[in-house]
């Protein structure tokens, strides 16, 4: 009987059931998709590690105590002969590998990958187990010949026998292409997107490693020899500073390097999966809370005929279990499809698993089940347990409401729990360990809330938000590690979200009453018009492209053409959705009921007031950031807003009845309105946080260029931030010889450049021509002694100086990966870490320790009297030989960096869009349930004269109000946490706070549009209610 009751309740409202399931399904889909994709990626790179390190028995290389293997010292050439003479050694193969080896094809295009490396290697001719297999032509045999892998050959316009330019860390050179090859397999090329160019060993030694030595040596033991025995003999023959390890150990190490990168990528995606699941949990909780509230009489009747409270709770949890199981099954299935889609998308960047197979690990299905079932059941527990408190007498009352039980006040118990919670937090903070903060922070927040309820139930509503704000302040005040501070800030954000969600019902009536007025209708009209035009144009364009690709599919069938047709089909659907949404926004704006001249007057007043609000908020933000230009906007904004307020008196004083009803419906049940808006609040808060951080990043960069940089030109690659990217040092020499240039400064950087001997801490560092750099960059020196500039000079950031009690003229020791210790002298102390980071040494010292490296960045000053066009032409005449590089003026360089930041922001916002979609589903479900609950009321309204169109506008306007409420709270919290994030991020990354008020206001407008979209289906159902049936509904 219990199962029949559960099944009846689930199947009675299939639309509601599917909407509820969709929230969980999206979260499961994203989680499973991430695991499927990253597991497949990990397996592919595991195979690649075996291919790289699997054709030998023993690897010999330099020992490095820290740092990246690519920075390791070279192996001496003569060591190859030494090892060849070791007993039991069959062959010794020198190996050379160099990054940024790029071929330029016949069209002058540099064949640069979009992620994987461009590698130069030597042809392995001394091993019985080669990794390179000739596919066409032959292997290179002289210093003027090269070969390339078959995929690189196919991507460019190359032909066997042609001569092409190759870019390396050395000068660009021309080589004859004598053959193509595949890597690791004679039939397939197992490079996973990388591009290889091979030279004979002697030429590679000179071209790629500047005759400094080999990168490593691989040894093949004789067939009748034990590898362990040969390994011991090889180790005995090695000089100090070198090591030997088996191929298995080398392959495991290589696989671990790949796995570290993939794990970081997986963690990045799983963070967004967690956000999606958090939003889903709010939606599920809200849905079941509403359902319990609507079914009080039904549940009371069950209690009256003998059902126990436990049976009522079990029935509700049974419904949740069906939702969980259905969502999990569908989510896992669609998640596998998402994993395949991610693989396909990444393959467009030539960086993905080969073939169409995806790895389906048991753990993936387990996590999918845990996520789907766990999130749903946990979210439904509280509403289900509240239902057991429903009295049998509730079946006899039409106004029965669900009562929330409060725990009995117990000062001793409550105070003890609160104190223990704060002690737990204190322990985590003292440890300065981000893992402990991540684990114990939420536990402390939960304990603080539980204890506060025992102390004072009225105060408990505020305690969670107060705890979150306290964590935020602690993240700003305490001197903790960067990782710990960022995790603490994240815990503070999550706690504050929950706290605001619990107290937002108290704010809902006032805020909703203010938002649900004529400016919202005008906003919908102003955004609905352009959205309609965009939707119409997109529909026509996509329809034309669909027709063209469909004809191509009919004349030349193929998988790619089929995918394009399907893609354009989805694009048409999306464009039609935009068109419908725009039309609905325009139609909803008519809820004003004003005449046309009054509407135009309202538009004018709205625009004046909107500009005034934006300028006022920008001015207030300027007070926080001390930006004079922005502060000057404050009085202008106040005047404009005041003018709009004065002009408002000439507009009508009221809107139509259905507009007022929409506003009052939103205020009638503040708990429901707040719960529906909370999920959207979280999504927009995170988007706003990312926007503030990105805008501050751009403002920091703009300040650096205006205040600290005097260079006229910047030469950089597209791979900004890639520590392996570099180019020939000859470019700086050639540019310096131009009459149009005054000075050229070269820059290098490494995250693990050296370690300080006194504390064995590995340090990041820059390197440059210190003397000439003073004419290009100003890191705001506190102290500088130019007489100390030389090979062994180091300039340091003021915090590093203070932490280590260093002053001008002091010296300390640093150790490089080649285990050479150098003594450096402090020649300058600066305050702006965004220029060089925390440390910068001389280029001479860097070159001595990293002799095979190239330059990573150049800055150039123009000779006095030379105009920009002439300087640009002269510089481009040299850099045309380096098509992988960009030449930018100061303004162009700023624009390029801002575009890079915007692209990163787009990626983050796209991932957060899934959470926002789920939040909008929550609003749609809430409105649908609200329509069902108010069926009789809506029928009566229709009976007294409201038309179906007016009914539609009322529900749509209510959806816009709820979305605006969630967006309003989200923007406030997002701005708060974005500003906090800027403060805790090291000054070397972001030093200027910038709050993009206009962009944040656009998000609020988008929230209103999204609210209309979420309300479209419930509004349609409300408009189609049968009046007589609705009036008789119980």
The 10s digit of each residue's pLDDT in 550-593 is: 887 777 777 667 777 787 888 888 888 889 988 988 888 888 88
- Kindly list the distances between the CA atom of residue 1033 and the CA atoms of 326, 538, 948, 1028, 1029, in Å, as whole numbers in the listed order: 31, 43, 18, 9, 6
Assigned domain for 262 exists? no
pLDDT at 980: 84
Q: Is residue 169 part of a domain?
A: yes
- Reading the block at residue 764, the tokens are 């990041």
pLDDT of the residue at 797: 92
Q: Is residue 549 part of a domain?
A: yes
Supply the pLDDT for residue 832: 84
Statement to judge: residues 723 and 837 lie in one domain? yes
Distances in whole angstroms, Cα of residue 432 to Cα of each of 213, 339, 722, 987: 43, 37, 29, 20
HSE, side-chain direction, 13 A CA sphere, residue 841: 27
Instruction: Put residue 996 in one of left, alpha, beta given phi > 0 → left and psi -120 to 50 → alpha.
Output: beta
Q: What is the mean pLDDT of residues 627-656?
A: 81
Judgement on whether residues 793 and 921 belong to the same structural domain of the protein: no
Which residues are CB-neighbours of 522 under 8 A, at least 6 positions away?
Answer: 589, 592, 599, 602, 603, 606
Residue 698: closest CA among 900, 873, 964, 454: 900
* Residue 839 phi, psi dihedral angles, 5° rounding: -150, 150
Other CB atoms closer than 10 Å to residue 559's CB: what's the count? 7
Lowest mean pLDDT, pick from 146-150, 406-410, 639-643, 969-973: 406-410
Burial class (CB in 10 A: 0-12, 13-18, 19+), 94: buried
Q: What phi, psi does 862 have (nearest 5°)?
A: -90, 145
Q: When comparing pLDDT for 386 and 435, which is higher?
A: 435
Report the number of distinct structural domains present in the chain.
Answer: 5
Q: Is 682 helix (H, G, I), strand (E, B) or coil?
A: helix
Residue 826 C-beta-side C-alpha neighbours within 13 Å: 21
Q: Which residue has the tokens 């409300």?
A: 1022
Confidence band for 140, pLDDT divided at 50, 70 and 90? very high
Of 861, 883, 905, which residue constitutes the final position of a domain?
Answer: 883
* pLDDT tier for residue 292 given thresholds of 50, 70 and 90: confident
* Residue 472 and residue 447 in one domain: yes
Identify the domain containing residue 913 by its residue range: 655-708+891-1034
pLDDT value, residue 719: 60
**Is residue 398 situated within a structural domain?**
no
Choosing from 547, 577, 593, the residue where a domain stops is 593
C-alpha 617/C-alpha 997 separation (Å) is 7
Within-domain flag for 739: yes
For the chain, the average pLDDT equals: 83
The more confidently predicted of residues 13 and 445 is 445
The residue assigned the tokens 């100090």 is 240
Query: Out of 79-83, 300-304, 579-583, 850-854, which region has the weakest mean confidence (pLDDT)?
Result: 300-304
pLDDT average, residue stretch 530-541: 90
**515-531 pLDDT, tens per residue?**
888 888 888 888 888 88
Identify the pLDDT of residue 92: 93
**pLDDT class for 164, splitting at 50, 70, 90?**
very high
**Are 100 and 211 in the same domain?**
yes
Rounded average pLDDT over 355-379: 79
Confidence of residue 290 (pLDDT cuts 50, 70, 90): confident
Q: Looking at mean pLDDT, say which of 197-206, 268-277, 422-431, 678-687 comes out highest.
A: 197-206
Three-state SS for 992?
Answer: coil
pTM over 0.75: yes
pLDDT in tens, 410-460: 788 888 888 998 899 888 888 888 888 888 888 888 888 888 888 877 777
Q: What is the band of 696 on the pLDDT scale with cuts at 50, 70, 90?
A: confident
Residues 142 and 171 both lie in one domain: yes
DSSP state, residue 107: T
Contact 779, 832 (CB under 8 A): yes
More confident residue, 915 or 842: 842
Grade residue 45 by pLDDT with cuts at 50, 70 and 90.
confident
Say yes or no: 879 and 895 in one domain: no
Q: Are strands 761-768 and 781-784 parallel, antiparallel or unpaired?
A: unpaired
On whether both 497 and 559 belong to a single domain, the answer is no
pLDDT tens sequence across 767-788: 999 999 988 888 889 999 999 9
pLDDT (mean) for 36-49: 79
Q: What is the pLDDT of residues 389-409, one digit of tens each?
A: 666 665 555 555 555 666 677
Average pLDDT over residues 223-235: 90
Same domain? For 766 and 913 the reply is no
Q: How confident is the model at residue 229 (pLDDT cuts 50, 70, 90)?
A: very high
Residues 706-716, mean pLDDT to the nearest whole number: 86
Quote the DSSP letter at residue 356.
S
Q: Last residue of some domain: 830, 853, 883?
A: 883
Opening angle at CA 816, ends 811 and 820, nearest 5: 80
| 866 and 747 both lie in a single domain | yes
44 within some domain: no
Q: Of 58, 91, 375, nearest to 244 (Cα)?
A: 58
Q: How far apart are CA 516 and CA 510, in angstroms?
A: 10
pLDDT mean over 668-677: 81
How far is residue 921's CA from residue 642's CA, in Å, rounded to a whole number? 38
State the pLDDT confidence band at 818, using cuts at 50, 70 and 90: confident
User: Quick one: what percent of the chain has pLDDT higher than 70?
Assistant: 92
Residue 915 domain flag: yes
CA dist 113 → 193, 204, 265, 270, 719 (Å): 7, 21, 19, 27, 10
Beta bridge partners of 783: 829
Highest mean pLDDT range out of 627-631, 1013-1017, 1021-1025?
A: 1013-1017
Above 80 in pLDDT, residue 482? no
pLDDT in tens, 368-380: 888 888 888 888 8
Q: What is the mean pLDDT of residues 102-126?
A: 87
pLDDT band at 927 (very low <50, low <70, confident <90, very high): confident
> With 0-12 CB in 10 A as exposed, 13-18 as middle and 19+ as buried, what is 827?
buried
Statement: residue 86 has pLDDT above 70: yes
pLDDT at 357: 58
Do 899 and 849 share a domain, yes or no? no
* 946 and 847 housed in the same domain: no
* Average confidence (pLDDT) over 918-934: 75
Domain membership of residue 307 (yes or no) is: no
pLDDT at 10: 67
Do residue 758 and residue 850 come from a single domain? yes
């Amino acid at each position: 009987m219990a199962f029949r009751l559960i099944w009846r309740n689930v199947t009675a409202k299939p639309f509601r059931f599917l909407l509820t399931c969709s929230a969980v399904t999206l979260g499961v889909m994203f989680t499973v998709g991430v695991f499927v994709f990253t597991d497949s990626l990990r397996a592919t790179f595991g195979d690649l590690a075996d291919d790289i390190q699997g054709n030998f028995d023993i690897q010999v290389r330099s020992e490095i105590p820290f740092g990246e293997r690519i920075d390791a010292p070279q192996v001496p050439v003569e060591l190859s002969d030494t090892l060849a003479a070791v007993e039991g050694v069959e062959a010794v193969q020198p190996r050379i590998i160099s990054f940024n080896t790029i071929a330029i094809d016949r069209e002058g295009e540099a064949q640069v990958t979009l992620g994987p490396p461009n590698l130069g290697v030597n042809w392995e001719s001394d091993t019985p187990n080669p990794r390179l297999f000739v596919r066409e032509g032959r292997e290179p045999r002289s210093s003027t010949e090269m070969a390339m892998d078959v995929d690189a050959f196919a991507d460019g316009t190359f032909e066997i026998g042609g001569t092409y330019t190759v870019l390396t860390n050395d000068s660009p050179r021309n080589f004859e292409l004598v053959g193509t090859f595949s890597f690791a397999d004679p039939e397939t090329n197992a490079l996973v997107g990388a591009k290889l160019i091979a030279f004979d060993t002697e030429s590679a030694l000179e071209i790629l490693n500047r005759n400094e030595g080999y990168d490593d040596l691989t040894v093949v033991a004789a067939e009748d020899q034990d590898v362990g025995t040969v390994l011991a003999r090889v180790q005995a023959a090695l000089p100090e500073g070198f090591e030997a390890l088996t191929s298995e150990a080398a392959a495991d190490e290589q696989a671990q390097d790949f796995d570290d990168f993939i794990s970081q990528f997986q963690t990045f995606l799983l963070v967004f999966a967690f956000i999606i699941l958090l939003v889903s949990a709010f939606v599920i909780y809200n849905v079941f809370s509403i359902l319990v509230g609507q079914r009080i009489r039904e549940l009371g009747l069950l209690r009256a005929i003998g059902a126990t409270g436990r049976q009522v709770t079990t029935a509700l949890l049974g419904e949740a279990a069906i939702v969980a199981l259905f969502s999990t099954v569908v989510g896992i299935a669609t998640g596998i499809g998402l994993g395949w889609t991610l693989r396909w998308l990444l393959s467009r960047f030539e960086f993905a698993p080969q073939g169409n197979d995806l790895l389906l690990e048991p753990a993936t299905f387990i996590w999918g089940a845990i996520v789907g079932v766990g999130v749903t059941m946990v979210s439904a527990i509280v509403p289900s347990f509240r239902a057991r408190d429903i009295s049998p007498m509730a079946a006899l009352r039409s106004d029965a409401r669900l009562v929330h039980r409060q725990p009995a006040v117990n000062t001793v118990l409550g105070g003890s729990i609160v104190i223990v919670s704060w002690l737990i937090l204190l322990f985590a903070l003292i440890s300065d360990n981000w893992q402990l903060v991540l684990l114990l922070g939420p536990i402390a927040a939960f304990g603080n809330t539980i204890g506060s309820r025992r102390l004072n139930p009225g105060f408990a509503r505020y305690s969670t938000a107060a705890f979150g704000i306290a964590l935020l302040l602690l993240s700003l005040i305490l001197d903790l590690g960067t990782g710990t501070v960022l995790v603490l800030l994240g815990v503070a954000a999550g706690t504050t979200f929950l706290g605001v969600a619990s107290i937002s019902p108290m704010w809902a009536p006032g805020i909703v009453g203010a938002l649900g007025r004529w400016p919202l209708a005008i906003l919908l009209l102003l955004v609905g018009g352009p959205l309609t035009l965009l939707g119409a144009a997109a529909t026509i364009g996509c329809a034309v492209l669909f027709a063209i690709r469909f004809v191509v599919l009919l004349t030349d069938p193929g998988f790619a053409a089929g995918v394009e047709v399907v893609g354009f089909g989805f694009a048409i659907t999306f464009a039609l959705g935009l068109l419908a949404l725009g039309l609905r926004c325009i139609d909803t704006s008519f809820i004003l009921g004003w005449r046309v001249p009054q509407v135009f007057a309202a538009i004018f007043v709205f625009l004046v007031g909107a500009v005034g609000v934006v300028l006022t908020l920008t001015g207030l933000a300027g007070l926080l950031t001390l930006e004079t230009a922005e502060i000057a906007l404050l009085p202008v904004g106040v005047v404009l807003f005041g003018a709009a307020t004065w002009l408002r008196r000439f507009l009508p004083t009221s809107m139509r009845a259905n507009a007022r009803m929409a506003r009052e419906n939103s205020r009638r049940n503040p708990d429901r309105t707040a719960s529906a808006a909370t999920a959207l609040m979280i999504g927009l808060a995170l988007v706003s946080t990312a926007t503030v951080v990105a805008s501050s990043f751009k403002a920091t960069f703009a300040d650096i260029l205006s205040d600290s940089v005097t260079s006229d030109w910047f030469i950089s690659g597209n791979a900004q931030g890639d520590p392996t990217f570099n180019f020939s040092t000859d470019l700086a020499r050639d540019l310096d010889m131009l009459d149009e240039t005054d000075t050229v400064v070269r820059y290098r950087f490494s995250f693990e450049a050296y370690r300080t001997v006194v504390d064995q801490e590995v340090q990041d560092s820059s390197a440059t021509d210190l003397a000439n750099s003073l004419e290009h960059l100003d890191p705001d020196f506190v102290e500088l002694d130019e007489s100390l500039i030389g090979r062994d000079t180091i300039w340091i950031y003021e915090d590093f100086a203070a932490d280590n009690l260093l002053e001008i003229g002091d010296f300390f020791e640093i150790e490089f990966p080649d285990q050479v210790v150098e003594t450096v002298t402090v020649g300058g102390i600066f305050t702006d870490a965004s220029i060089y980071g925390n440390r910068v040494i001389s280029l001479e010292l860097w070159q001595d320790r990293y002799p095979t490296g190239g330059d990573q960045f150049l800055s150039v000053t123009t000779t006095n009297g030379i105009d920009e066009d002439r300087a640009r032409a002269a510089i481009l005449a040299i850099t045309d030989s380096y098509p992988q590089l960009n030449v930018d003026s100061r303004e162009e360089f700023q624009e390029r960096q801002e575009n890079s930041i915007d692209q990163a922001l787009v990626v983050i916002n796209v991932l957060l869009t899934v959470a926002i979609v789920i939040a909008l589903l929550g609003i749609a479900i809430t409105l649908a349930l609200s329509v069902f609950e108010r069926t009789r009321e809506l029928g009566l309204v229709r009976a007294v004269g409201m038309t179906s169109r007016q009914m539609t506008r009322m529900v749509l306007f209510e959806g816009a109000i709820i979305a605006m409420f969630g967006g309003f709270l989200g923007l406030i919290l997002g701005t708060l946490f974005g500003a906090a994030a800027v403060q805790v991020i090291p000054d070397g990354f972001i030093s200027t706070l910038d709050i993009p008020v206009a962009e944040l206001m656009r998000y609020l407008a988008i929230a209103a549009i999204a609210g209309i979209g979420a309300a479209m289906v419930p509004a349609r159902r409300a408009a189609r209610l049968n009046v007589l049936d609705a009036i008789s509904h119980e």
